Amino acid sequence: MMDRMPTDTPRRNARMGFAPVQNRFVVAMRSASNRINRVIAARYGRTLNLHLDCEYPKAGGTWFGKMASEVLQIPYPEHNIFPIGCACVLHNHWQWTPGLEKAWYLRRDGRDVMVSFYFHRMREIKAGNPTVLRRFGPTYDRIFGAGYDPEDTRRNLGPFIEHEFKNPRDARSNWRDHVMQWHDGGRGRAGITYLSYEELVADTEGTLGGSIEAITGNRPDEWVVRQTVEKYSMARQTGGRSAGDEDRDSFIRKGVAGDWVNHFGPSAARRFNDLAGDALVAVGYEPDLDWIDRYDLQD
């Protein structure tokens, strides 16, 4: 059964590392700023030297964007309430629109994205994040059943995936529609530099340096890239944990690719295939829609 902590103390929320509940004015300003930034980027992004760090949430965009901004020595603005009009790495979850150039699009296997989202939400609920409790607490009680076990991923991921696809909250579309739009159904779009979370994990230095060169036309200094990768390594960011060393109470939970096989049961796999199997094939994560039969998925 989920044991939820009290959530009505602002000081406690700050101690737990939760963002403070913002007043409506700040929320409205951030939302307006994001919309204006998208228009500015599409029309004047190249003139302003905006470097667009585009992703569906949980694809590693924050990690990549902070490293890219450090290598390029330009700002990485976060949670801004005013539009951006200077050279920077601008992280976003926007839909593709004509005019968005000088853009990286970072993709990640949607099955891993769903697992990452699930653990992120469960961590925040267990810790008593008031915003997440308000948005998702009653919903998860309903779709998982009252007193559900948050550790039972094989049971919970099927309904979680279905709800997440029908009700995307951190982007305007679900994972399938987002990656298919940015990849033009798998054909790719001119002016977009594509990279994947999986490539970034396997070869962080090479992927970071190559992606920056593709956007700027200049190969970044290898020493700078190496030092930046070390600064933002999992060990440095988590106090010593290595990739694969899981901490479900941490924002940086595991830092690996392919972890979905440890959490998907057959029902979750079938549900994901029904909702987004074509996208897995289109962007190269599976050769066909029969991928479920190739994995030993246990209930």
Residues 71 and 162 in one domain: no
Q: Which domain holds residue 283?
A: 111-175+243-294
Residue type, 141: D
In 83-214, the DSSP E strands lie at: 88-92, 103-107, 192-196
Does 6 fall in a domain? no
Exposure string for 135-144, b = 16+ CB within 10 A, e = fewer: ebbeebeeeb
Residues 149 and 204 in one domain: no
**Each residue's pLDDT tens digit, 33-70:** 999 999 999 999 999 999 999 999 999 999 999 999 99
Average pLDDT over residues 167-186: 95
Q: Are 273 and 292 in contact (CB under 8 A)?
A: yes
Residues 252 and 154 in one domain: yes
Residues 168 and 209 in one domain: no
Residues 122 and 169 in one domain: yes
Region of residue 126 (phi > 0: left; psi between -120 and 50: alpha; otherwise: beta)? alpha
Residue 293 and residue 229: Cα distance in Å, rounded?
37
Residues 88 and 186 in one domain: yes
Residues 61 and 88 in one domain: yes
pLDDT at 24: 82
Beta bridge partners of 92: 54
Structural domains of the chain, count = 2
Beta bridge partners of 91: 53
CATH number for the domain including 53?
A: 3.40.50.300
Q: Are 97 and 76 in contact (CB under 8 A)?
A: no
Residues 169 and 38 in one domain: no
Residue 174 and residue 177: Cα distance in Å, rounded?
6
Domain termination residue (choose one: 236, 256, 285)? 236
Residues 116 and 232 in one domain: no
Largest Cα separation within the chain, whole Å, is 55
Residues 30 and 102 in one domain: yes
**Each residue's pLDDT tens digit, 63-122:** 999 999 999 999 999 989 999 999 999 999 999 999 998 899 999 999 999 999 999 999
pLDDT over 60 at 297, yes or no? yes
